[in-house]
C-alpha cells in the first residue's frame, strides 16, 4: 500500500531543502540599518491605516450611544448587586 502525499513517512518534494544553499541568519533585514527598518515600519503602518474602513458620523454616533447605554445598564446592575450584598453581609455579621 502506498503512503498519502505529504504524510510523515514520505515528505513532499517542496519540503526538501538543498544542502548547497546557505541560510543567512538576518535575511533581508540584516542589510538595513535600524533607522531604515523604523522608516519601513512606519510606512507599512500608514499603508495599513489607509486600508481601514472608517465609520461614518451616523454610525459613530449610534455606536457611541449603544456603548454608553450598555455601560449605564452595567453600572446600575453592579450597583444593585453591591447594595444587596452589602445588606446581606450586614444581616449575617450584624
What does pLDDT average to in each consecutive run of 10 residues of the chain (94 residues)? Answer: 58 58 58 88 95 94 98 98 96 90
Separation of alpha carbons 85 and 91, rounded Å: 10
Residue 20 contacts residue 27 (beta carbons within 8 Å): no
At residue 52, the pLDDT reads: 93
At residue 31, the pLDDT reads: 72
C-alpha count within 13 angstroms, C-beta hemisphere, residue 21: 4
At residue 9, the pLDDT reads: 61
At residue 32, the pLDDT reads: 79
Beta strands (DSSP E) in the chain are: none
Amino acid at each position: 500500500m502506498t503512503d498519502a502525499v505529504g504524510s510523515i513517512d514520505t515528505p513532499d518534494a517542496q519540503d526538501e531543502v538543498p544542502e548547497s544553499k546557505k541560510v543567512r541568519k538576518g535575511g533581508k533585514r540584516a542589510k538595513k540599518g535600524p533607522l531604515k527598518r523604523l522608516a519601513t515600519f512606519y510606512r507599512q503602518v500608514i499603508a495599513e491605516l489607509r486600508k481601514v474602513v472608517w465609520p461614518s458620523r451616523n454610525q459613530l454616533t449610534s455606536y457611541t450611544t449603544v456603548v454608553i447605554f450598555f455601560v449605564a445598564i452595567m453600572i446600575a446592575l453592579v450597583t444593585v448587586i453591591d447594595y444587596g450584598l452589602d445588606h446581606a453581609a450586614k444581616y449575617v455579621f450584624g
